[in-house]
Structure 1
Amino acid sequence: MPLPTDERLIALSQELLQQFDAIFGLNPGFRPAHAKGTMLTGTFIPTAAAASLSKAPHIVRASTPVTVRFSNSTGVPLIPDNDPNANPRGFAVRFNLAEHVHTDIVSHSTDGFPTHTGQEFLEFLKALATSDPANLKGSPLEAFLGSHPKALAFVQAPKPAPSSFAREAYFGVTAMKFTNKDGVSRFGRYRIVPEAGVEHLDDAAAAAKSANYLFDEIAERIAKGPVKYRVLVQVADEGDVVDDATIHWPEDRKLLELGTISLIAPVADDAHEQKQIIFDPIPRVEGIEPSDDPLLELRAAIYLLSGRRRRAAPEK
């Protein structure tokens, strides 16, 4: 995927990467956020109704191979799975359409995002880097959250630890524009729901878990049989705001079922493949386009810049 030509966007991307490095330390070969992860392979099978929303290749084909990456938050490669900072969890999906042809979904387990723009997100990270979250009084972070109610709502939203990666729901926080074969376009946001049902742990139960409990559990689970998720799209109504990830749409908006992801095996040479793969928040496929959300171009640039840096790091 190409790097954007907007120099201000590239400069902002570089500043954000530097802030992640300042907060989490520099860990060559790992992502600056969601560093600890694991990848699995499987298949996506669309529903018959999915074609009414989009003409994208993976929506109209009988099935498409997928690669999925589960991850913990932060840029700390060895963060314990039961550390509260490991939430929200990440779930990235690559639909492998042909050799070197793909489209992705990037989602996480908290519905929403703390800021509307990349500049605001940079201010948020700078405030975080210069504050003690356990002692907010008079800190830059307290000042930022006090003047940014959407960021405060995101920070205060419950983020309980899941009992399993297979028992967590994930949200695509930015809207996409879906177009079907008749040229009808609608905006929507992804929701990925586990077939096994959502199950969270209370603080005491999470604290009692091992530092690698989620990664151990998903390896044991996948060895026993497929791990399945329903891929849904919450469809916006006319007049809903579609370019701001901090704004939630009402829960009565239609949920259209796109299909089912069935994961069947770990990726071979997992560490190497995690280092190589660069997920793309922008779909770049006919039938699914980005909305005008300003986070999309920025996130794509950051993913590409950090991915190139990660690939250039020596193999362990």
Structure 2
Amino acid sequence: MHDPDTSSRPSGNGARWALIGTAVAVAAGAYAYVGGWLSPQRLTPDRLVDDFQQAAGDHPGFRRNHAKGVCVTGYFEGNGNATAFSTAPVFAAGRTPVVGRFAIPGGNPYAPDSSVPIRSMALRFSLANGQQWRTGMNSMPVFPVATPQAFQAQMDANRKDPETGKPDPAKLAAFFAAHPETAAFRAWAKTARPSASFVTERYYGLNAFHFIDADGARHAVRWRMVPEASDAGAAPANDNYLIGDLHRRLAQAPARWRLLVTLADPGDPTDDATRTWPANRRTIDAGVLVLEHEQPQDSGPCRDVNFDPTVLPAGIAISDDPLLAARSAVYADSHLRRTREEARVPGAASTADAGMESAR
């Protein structure tokens, strides 16, 4: 699936990587820092956020990543199928309230919806016992790189040259040569196209987690949301169609996704988001996500939610994926910066940093 020409001479496909890679860099830029992983002389949370602002422009009160989005509310209807693997009450038969957010990558809240082919879904499940499960997912099946260090190298390779306004092809080629693990993402990026609807997308958790059962046994898992709708069609020729499409669809009927949880076999990687698991792994249908209403992000219930994917209820735990701790550290830093701006700029459109969710 890997085209060697893109590694040695990034022309057409290289340009496509530059476009999507830059979007992913912004969407998941928070992955690149956690204390001790990167030299503090080279990178700190503040400097990283400054880089994102430089790339997207100054938009006080908006999140630095996934700045353009919309709040959604609804519920998750568990069916009990996952209770043998996790004690989290969300998987028992019954409803759990959900607050979520759809978005596109980037720090520009006015970016055209068709500028990138990636969409994100971030969710907060509020369990009856007072605990929460937060998750950020993206419409790409793999992540480009596996470590914060590699992500920093990706950001460097995608940095725009001040003279050309584009990434340096030689730096991209060198990055590809040094990081063959990007092949799966690049193969997806070659054919990815912007969709016409949030509702018809699949959303992948990308990182591995552990379910913990009643006996304390751990089960490595990944999850994805699979839509019941499939009629997206081609993206319209205008800049702002996704939220309008969502509004029209939800006015007619709730939008629904199946939560599919895949169980790893021994030896399947849990620390590498660039590698998928074999298709024959056991998959459980854990229930259905039902989204009923959408609201503007500046006044809706998702406004102040930090969709940190390490906020987990008992029965779910993080894996050894190094990107998870990095996401949590920088989501917190970015959220703090946003709230400080909100205090200084009354009336600014305010949203919490959802990250990649990513990218959620």
In structure 1, the partner of 2:330 is 302
Q: Distance in 2 between matches of 1:18 and 1:122?
A: 14
In structure 2, the partner of 1:288 is 316
Q: Name the SS of the counterpart of 1:222 in structure 2.
A: helix
Alignment TM-score, normalising by the size of structure 2: 0.78
In structure 2, the partner of 1:90 is 120
Cα deviation, residue 52, structure 1: 1.5
Query: C-alpha deviations, 1:182-227, integer Å up to 9, x for none?
Result: 3332111111000113x565xxx43x43211111000111111111
Q: Distance in 2 between matches of 1:98 and 1:301?
A: 27
Q: Name the SS of the counterpart of 1:49 in structure 2.
A: coil
Pairing 1:104-253 to 2, within 5 Å after superposition: 104-131=134-161, 137-138=169-170, 140-157=171-188, 158-197=191-230, 199=231, 201=233, 205-206=234-235, 208-253=236-281
In structure 2, the partner of 1:57 is 89
In structure 2, the partner of 1:103 is 133
Structure 1 letter corresponding to 2:86: S
Q: Distance in 2 between matches of 1:34 and 1:173?
A: 17
In structure 2, the partner of 1:40 is 72
Structure 2 letter corresponding to 1:69: R
CA contact (8 A) 2:225 2:257 kept: yes
Cα deviation, residue 264, structure 1: 0.9
Alignment TM-score, normalising by the size of structure 1: 0.88
CA contact (8 A) 2:142 2:184 kept: no
Q: Distance in 2 between matches of 1:250 and 1:13?
A: 37
Structure 2 letter corresponding to 1:311: T
Cα deviation, residue 229, structure 1: 0.7
CA contact (8 A) 2:87 2:212 kept: yes
Q: Distance in 2 between matches of 1:13 and 1:188?
A: 31
Q: Distance in 2 between matches of 1:109 and 1:256?
A: 20
CA contact (8 A) 2:78 2:95 kept: yes
CA contact (8 A) 1:115 1:245 kept: yes
In structure 1, the partner of 2:4 is none
Q: Distance in 2 between matches of 1:196 and 1:133?
A: 39
CA contact (8 A) 2:158 2:168 kept: no
CA contact (8 A) 1:195 1:229 kept: yes
Q: Distance in 1 between matches of 2:275 and 2:165?
A: 25
Q: Is the alpha carbon distance of 1:97 and 1:141 closer, same or farther for their aligned partners in structure 2, counting shifts above 3 Å? A: same
- Residues 180-189 or 282-291, more deviating: 180-189
CA contact (8 A) 1:161 1:200 kept: no
- Residues 214-223 or 29-38, more deviating: 29-38
CA contact (8 A) 1:116 1:244 kept: yes
CA contact (8 A) 2:77 2:287 kept: yes
CA contact (8 A) 1:275 1:311 kept: no
In structure 2, the partner of 1:29 is 61
Q: Name the SS of the counterpart of 2:114 in structure 1.
A: coil
CA contact (8 A) 2:96 2:127 kept: yes
Q: Distance in 1 between matches of 2:205 and 2:223?
A: 5
Q: Is the alpha carbon distance of 1:106 and 1:235 closer, same or farther for their aligned partners in structure 2, counting shifts above 3 Å? A: same
Q: Distance in 2 between matches of 1:136 and 1:24?
A: 19
Cα deviation, residue 99, structure 1: 9.2
Cα deviation, residue 141, structure 1: 2.2
- Residues 143-152 or 6-15, more deviating: 6-15
In structure 1, the partner of 2:107 is 75
Q: Is the alpha carbon distance of 1:112 and 1:195 closer, same or farther for their aligned partners in structure 2, counting shifts above 3 Å? A: same
Q: Distance in 1 between matches of 2:37 and 2:313?
A: 23
Question: Among the aligned pairs, what percent are the same residue?
Answer: 34
Q: Distance in 1 between matches of 2:55 and 2:109?
A: 13
Root mean square deviation of aligned Cα:
2.3
In structure 2, the partner of 1:3 is none
Q: Name the SS of the counterpart of 1:264 in structure 2.
A: strand
**5+ residue gaps, structure 2:** 1-33, 349-360
The structure whose RCO (Cα within 8 Å, separation 6+) is larger is 2
**5+ residue gaps, structure 1:** 1-5
Q: Distance in 1 between matches of 2:156 and 2:64?
A: 15
Q: Name the SS of the counterpart of 2:249 in structure 1.
A: helix
CA contact (8 A) 2:37 2:149 kept: no
CA contact (8 A) 1:36 1:77 kept: yes
CA contact (8 A) 2:159 2:167 kept: no
Aligned residues: 302
